[in-house]
Structure 1
Amino acid sequence: MNAPARRPEIIVYASRWCPYCRAAFALLDRKGVAYEVLDVDEQPALWNEIDARTGRDTVPQTFIDGQHVGGYDDMAALDRAGGLDPLLFPKAPG
């Protein structure tokens, strides 16, 4: 019997005022995956963390199991190319 598939850790740096953040949440919600939101409005020091991890100064910035997949446009393009689902739904070894 195969082990159940592992759920990846998904982290989204975001602002509640950002329309691209809401679009990223909607995409992840449509996929039916759970994610953690790191709110830069509540924790402004996160901007430094975003810059250190990505070299970018915009939100959203999404990480799946530590892999930076970018902002909303990047994530949507990855989805259109068929590359997002393998990150969100990794196959169980077996």
Structure 2
Amino acid sequence: MYATGVCPYCLMAERLLRAKGVADIEKVRVDLEPARREEMMQRTGRRTVPQIYVGDRHVGGYDDLAALDRAGGLEPLLAA
């Protein structure tokens, strides 16, 4: 997950993933490593954080993650 230290949506995404049983969340802090923000924008086409990946699949931001969960698609993705 691409994130910053002060992003409330990053914290909400982390909370949701932990509630689903994800113990290890790899965070890339784009506020501490500005070059990684460029990497994030190249990979995702987006400028805002969080940008969440489950494995190699780009899920999107927090709203996308929450919508995926509401639609019942998050748990199967995490289980794969």
Instruction: Indicate whether the TM-score tops 0.5.
Output: yes
Partners of 1:83 and 1:32 in 2: how far apart?
A: 15
Greater relative CO (CA pairs within 8 A, separation 6+): 1
Larger Rg: 1
Gaps of 5+ in 2: none
Partners of 1:17 and 1:65 in 2: how far apart?
A: 24
1:25 corresponds, among 3, 14, 26, to 14
User: What SS is found at the alignment partner of 2:28?
Assistant: strand
- RMSD over aligned CA atoms reads 0.7
User: What SS is found at the alignment partner of 2:27?
Assistant: strand
Which structure features the higher share of helix residues?
2
Paired residues, number:
79
Query: Identity of counterpart residues, as a percentage?
Result: 57
Give the 5 Å matches for 1:12-51: 12-33=1-22, 34-51=24-41
Partners of 2:57 and 2:21 in 1: how far apart?
A: 19
**Per-residue deviation, residues 10-68 of structure 1 (Å, max 9, x unmatched):** xx000011000000010011111121001111111111111101110000001111110
- Residue identity in the other structure for 2:21: G
Residue equivalent to 1:7: none
Which structure features the higher share of strand residues?
1
